[in-house]
Structure 1
Amino acid sequence: MDCSINSQNQVLLSDESEYGQCFTKFPGGGLELGEGLIDALKREFVEECNAEIEVTGHFYTTDFYEKSSFNDSQVISIYYLVKAIQPLQLPFKTKVFDFDENSNQSFRWVELAALTANDVTFKTDKTVVDLLKQSIS
């Protein structure tokens, strides 16, 4: 997962619909076999956002148990701070779950000052929102 914060102090969120559920999370995804964490994050950003990123630092690793929302596995999430090498060229939305036709994902910038744990779906992302808020106060 990543925490992408732009020069306007906004955080990038991904609204998605998968497995019959709608959810909001930080961009990112899972590892593929044989892949390292940074390589996976860079790949996910290219796949989801068609953009190359620079990882600027580790932010948080899950330190509690969380069951996957999609199967019976355990989730361990690792969050990095990232910045895009070039400005993101995405159709940013302002409304939650505002998907284009034939798409199950959309992106929004949310003011960090206005961001709350209720803006994201999963427990680990809620924890990271709280930590991000603490880091700016």
Structure 2
Amino acid sequence: MSYFNVRVYGLLIDPERGILISDEQSEGKRFSKFPGGGLELGEGLKDALKREFIEECATEIEVLEHFYTTDFYEKSSFNNSQILSIYYFVKELHPLDHLAFTNHPFDFGKNSNQSFRWIPLKDLKVSDVTFKTDQTVVERLLAQMDL
């Protein structure tokens, strides 16, 4: 059985540190992506994104403007679903001082399967993220910012 899998992600950009990337490990796979995740039944996109930031980053965000929605076919790397991803610019409502940031991908602490890092926009590359939709977002971000 195939079905749609709606995902929502936040582009959190700090002028001094860059853009926030989440490195994760799940089902034996490692991947780098923007913070966010799956829409739950009965949930709106913005509410889902706020929930995901609380779950992943333990912080509240304000959802700003829409940036991109998937406009091509992408099959999930984890199941038989078709991925539809929506990206918003977001800003944190409280400093993210409680998160332990790393400078290296997949630098997980003990008993952890997620780590966070900032990538300066001038250093951001398509290869910094794993999935095709995220890579498209990086391409569009770089083109828009004319870096």
Q: TM-score, normalised by structure 1?
A: 0.98
Distance in 2 of aligned mates of 1:87 and 1:15: 20
* Count of residues in correspondence between the two structures: 137
Distance in 2 of aligned mates of 1:112 and 1:125: 15
Q: Match of 1:49?
A: 57
Q: Match of 1:133?
A: 142
Q: Which stretches in structure 2 are left out of the alignment for 5+ residues?
A: 1-8
- Find the residue that maps to 1:59 and give its secondary structure: strand
Q: Kindly indicate whether residue 47 of structure 2 is the aligned counterpart of residue 39 of structure 1.
A: yes
Distance in 2 of aligned mates of 1:19 and 1:76: 20
Give the deviation of 1:7 after TM superposition: 2.3
Distance in 2 of aligned mates of 1:132 and 1:65: 20
After superposition, where does 1:1-137 map in structure 2 within 5 Å? Answer: 1-8=9-16, 10-88=18-96, 89-137=98-146
Distance in 2 of aligned mates of 1:91 and 1:109: 11
CA RMSD of aligned residues (A): 0.7
Distance in 1 of aligned mates of 2:78 and 2:46: 24
Identity, % of aligned pairs? 61
Give the deviation of 1:9 after TM superposition: 5.5
Distance in 2 of aligned mates of 1:45 and 1:130: 23
Distance in 1 of aligned mates of 2:136 and 2:80: 21
Which consecutive aligned stretches of 4+ in structure 1 deviate over 4 angstroms post-superposition? none
Give the deviation of 1:53 after TM superposition: 0.2
- Find the residue that maps to 1:93 and give its secondary structure: coil
Q: If each structure's strand is expressed as a fraction of its own residues, which one has the higher value?
A: 2
Give the deviation of 1:2 after TM superposition: 1.1
